[in-house]
């Protein structure tokens, strides 16, 4: 299969590696020659390291390298069966590039976008044959993250959806099919992990380290929310939250936080600037302070963990209620896309639907904010005395 990738930055080069490893002939295109050189050098380094570690042999390394060519003209992608666009997250630029691409490629070529936050329907509308357009959303780093969200737009044909799912599954990835709605699955369902943790901090219930500690020790999350926001970058994470909030017509459930906004404005972006919610040394490790070492009392840790967890479960339940994806795909998305220790709907069953509804109602009764409204699906399951699985 011939695969054309537009944009050789972080995501484009990672996707190229995945497709080439699966045996596809890949052409990686970028307008910036330096970005192409950088992508090639980075891939050579990654592959050399994989050989060193014994994960692949030098034959495989050579095959992956020869499977990728680096091209400087969009027209060079003309023989593609599938193209995946991974350029800047700007709707007008994506539309211009994809409508130009459509002139060169065959009628049967699938034109996909790796967009994280834009509407696939809107991107598809730039094409003469919008039914060939689809969202194929990889996670960073693409070669390591197991999940790929596949997002059919309302214009996408059934055949294009089936072919895309088949191709990406064949690349050894787990596919979750998501409705074309803001944040798709992961970037929607994960919002409370950050938002509720920030809110708990803003209310003065606990500091960053205590909140992180609670979610890691009681929840089994690999990173606490503040460590994770520092890792992602407060600028990037804040923009996603703001975009999702606006896209949901300002539903208070997705309201961004002034704390994070100020951190982003101050340039306290996290690991990449050496300072965020924590301080970092040159190796990117947290400079341990007394707060990081302090253990919260058990009751407080439980209160923090349960509040964030039930908000995550509520979000996952609402995504299912609104048919954003199937229960299996929602759970897979969170375990395979962001490494959650358990699927949230399976977690809800484990905690008990009654527990979830009472916890949400407790929060709602305390705050009287729409942010804490319980998903109608949780209430329905409780009424019917049933579970997600
Ligand atoms: N970085 C992430 O964590 C992540 C995760 C999932 C999805 N995405 C999405 O993937 C896309 C790419 O993100 P990224 O982080 O790889 O960006 P990036 O900035 O690392 O790379 C973008 C590349 O596109 C090139 N480019 C820009 N305009 C172009 C054009 N008109 N024609 C050809 N090449 C052009 C740039 O030179 C650059 O090399 C975005 O839509 C983003 O939302 C990013």
Based on the residue annotation, tell me whether 149 is a catalytic residue of this protein.
Answer: yes
3-state secondary structure of 15: helix
Rounded to the nearest angstrom, the distance between the alpha carbon of 8 and the centre of ligand 1 is 7
The pLDDT of residue 17 is: 98
CATH 1.10.1040.50 spans which residues of the chain? Answer: 186-389
Q: Which helix (H) or strand (E) holds 225?
A: helix 225-232
The pLDDT of residue 269 is: 96
* pTM for this prediction: 0.93
Angle between helices 191-202 and 225-232 (to 10 degrees): 110
Query: For tokens 């409780």, what's the residue?
Result: 382
Structural contact between residues 244 and 182, judged by C-beta atoms closer than 8 angstroms? yes
State the chain's mean pLDDT as an integer: 95
Rounded to the nearest angstrom, the distance between the alpha carbon of 176 and the centre of ligand 1 is 22
For residue range 45-93, list pLDDT tens digits in order.
999 999 999 999 999 999 999 999 999 999 999 999 999 999 998 999 9
Residue 243 beta carbon below 6 angstroms from any ligand 1 atom: no
For residue range 214-268, list pLDDT tens digits in order.
999 999 999 999 999 999 999 989 998 999 999 999 999 999 999 999 999 999 9
- How far, in Å, CA of 342 to CA of 347, rounded? 6
**Rounded to whole angstroms, what are the CA distances from 367 to 68, 259, 317, 361?**
55, 20, 21, 10
DSSP code of residue 152: E
- How far, in Å, CA of 98 to CA of 126, rounded? 7
Q: Which CATH number is correct for 2-177, 3.40.50.450, 3.40.30.10, 3.40.50.720, 2.40.30.200?
A: 3.40.50.720
For residue range 116-129, list pLDDT tens digits in order.
989 999 999 999 99
For residue range 162-218, list pLDDT tens digits in order.
999 999 999 999 999 999 999 999 999 999 999 999 999 999 999 999 999 999 999
For residue range 335-363, list pLDDT tens digits in order.
999 999 999 999 999 999 999 999 999 99
Query: For tokens 């014994």, what's the residue?
Result: 54
What the block records as the tokens of 212 is: 């992180």
Based on the residue annotation, tell me whether 187 is a catalytic residue of this protein.
Answer: yes
186-389 in CATH: which number? Answer: 1.10.1040.50
Which residue owns the Cα nearest ligand 1 atom 27? 87
Where helices occur in 9-138 by DSSP H, the ranges are: 10-21, 33-52, 58-67, 91-104, 120-124
DSSP code of residue 205: S
Q: Is the pLDDT at 114 greater than 70, yes or no?
A: yes
Structural contact between residues 345 and 330, judged by C-beta atoms closer than 8 angstroms? yes
CATH 3.40.50.720 spans which residues of the chain? Answer: 2-177
For residue range 257-307, list pLDDT tens digits in order.
999 999 999 999 999 999 999 999 998 899 876 554 556 688 999 999 999
- How far, in Å, CA of 334 to CA of 341, rounded? 9
Averaged pLDDT, 365-382: 98
**Closest atom of ligand 1 to CA, residue 89:** 41
């Amino acid at each position: 299969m011939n695969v054309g990738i537009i944009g050789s930055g972080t995501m484009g080069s990672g996707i190229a590696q995945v497709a080439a490893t699966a045996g596809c002939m890949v052409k990686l295109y970028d307008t910036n020659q330096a970005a192409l050189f950088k992508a090639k050098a980075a891939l050579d380094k990654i592959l050399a390291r994989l050989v060193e570690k014994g994960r692949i042999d030098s034959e495989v390394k050579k095959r992956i390298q020869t499977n990728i060519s680096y091209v400087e003209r969009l027209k060079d992608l003309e023989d593609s069966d599938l193209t995946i666009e991974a350029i800047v997250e700007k709707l007008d630029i994506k539309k211009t590039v994809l409508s130009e691409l459509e002139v060169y490629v065959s009628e049967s070529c699938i034109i996909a976008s790796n967009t994280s936050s834009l509407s696939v329907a809107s991107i598809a509308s730039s094409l003469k044959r919008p039914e060939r357009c689809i969202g194929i959303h990889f996670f960073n780093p693409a070669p390591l993250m197991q999940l790929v969200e596949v997002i059919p737009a309302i214009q996408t044909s059934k055949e294009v959806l089936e072919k895309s799912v088949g191709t990406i599954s064949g690349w050894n990835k787990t596919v979750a099919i998501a409705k074309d709605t803001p944040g798709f699955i992961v970037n929607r369902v994960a919002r409370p992990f950050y938002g509720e943790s920030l809110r708990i901090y803003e209310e003065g219930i606990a500091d960053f380290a205590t909140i992180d500690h609670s979610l890691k020790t009681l929840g089994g999350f690999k990173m606490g929310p503040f460590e994770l926001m520092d890792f992602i970058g407060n600028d990037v994470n804040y923009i996603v939250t703001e975009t999702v909030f606006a896209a949901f017509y300002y539903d208070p459930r997705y309201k961004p936080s002034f704390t994070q906004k100020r951190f982003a404005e101050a340039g306290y972006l996290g690991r990449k600037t050496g300072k965020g919610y924590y301080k970092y040394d040159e190796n990117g490790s947290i400079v341990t302070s007394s707060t990081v070492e302090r253990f919260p009392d058990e009751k407080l840790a439980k209160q923090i963990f349960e509040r964030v967890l039930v908000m995550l479960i509520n979000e996952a339940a609402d995504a299912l209620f609104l048919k954003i994806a199937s229960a299996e795909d929602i759970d897979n998305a969170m375990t395979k896309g962001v490494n959650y220790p358990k699927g949230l709907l399976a977690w809800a069953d484990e905690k008990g639907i009654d527990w979830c509804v009472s916890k949400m109602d407790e929060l709602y009764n305390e705050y009287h904010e729409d942010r804490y409204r319980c998903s109608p699906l949780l209430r329905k399951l409780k009424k019917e005395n049933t579970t997600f699985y």
